[in-house]
Amino acid sequence: MKPTFLKYRNYAMSILLLLVLLAVESCSTVPLTGRRQLSLVPASEINAMSFQQYEQVLDTSRLSSNQEWANMVRSVGRDISQAVEQYMREIGEADNVEGFEWEFNLIAEDIINAWAMPGGKVAFYEGIMPIARDKTGVAVVMGHEIAHAIAKHGAERMSLGLAQQLGGATLQAALSQQPQMTQQLAMTAFGLGSQIGVQLPYSREHESEADRLGLMFMAKAGYDPREAPRFWQRMQAKAGGSRPPEFLSTHPNPETRINQLNKYMDEAVAVYQQNR
């Protein structure tokens, strides 16, 4: 073997060993699904970064003047966030939402998109509202996006980025030593691109997990989960054009999503009937 090849192979093995050690020593568990995830970043630190980025989004965007839609987003957001907090208390994981500062805004852009940052900062865009149609449709999207925050998918992606690119450095050390790279990692972790507000895709695992959690969250808040497949059917119809919606471009195929949702529908409907 050539020395250069051995060098890179040894480096790759070292990184792999580091990731394995980190995974063993620094894991948390996702509520409801029980999946183990890498957790290197304290919630307080990643939430602080999230709040800063959210303010930047609001500073560079125009909030919607459609009060009916904006109030709908805020009302559904409050319903689901309160149901989620109650659920976290019931299962003994109230610390999962400790430090959350819920905020729900509707941005005046005709793009089909919505997202949530760590710590409960949520944004919808006007373009998704005609597809949602009503509060139950908004709850489908809201439950899914809040699920990303509750499952700490952003923190998990940030942790993986720190492990892969900065050798598992703490967030504070990374910000001090390589601030630009750390900020880029944060943008990716929060699902935002180099252009603020442009959503980047989560992994298929994260998306499926958010679907399952979101279905239960909307049901616990008293919204009929059977609307979820219908919402994705409308999204699929919208995608029939030459340019797919932004929201759809970062998510799995609607047919796949509908099939996955239906697997958990009986459980979700039972929860809904208990909370309607």
Angle between helix axes 153-166 and 3-25 (nearest 10 degrees) is: 150
How far apart are alpha carbons 230 and 235 in whole angstroms?
9
Angle between helix axes 153-166 and 179-189 (nearest 10 degrees) is: 150
Residue 207 is a catalytic residue: no
Q: Which of 145, 207, 227, 246 is catalytic?
A: 145
The three-state secondary structure class of 225 is coil
Structure letter (DSSP) for residue 34: -
Which letter, b or e, does each residue of 152-176 get, where b requires 16 or more Cβ atoms within 10 Å of its Cβ?
A: bbbbbbbbbbbbebbebbebeebbe
Nearest by Cα to 132 from 50, 208, 230, 22 = 230
How far apart are alpha carbons 65 and 74 in whole angstroms?
14
Question: Which residue do the tokens 């219908």 mark?
Answer: 230
What Rg, from alpha-carbon coordinates, does the chain have? 19
Catalogue the active-site residues.
145
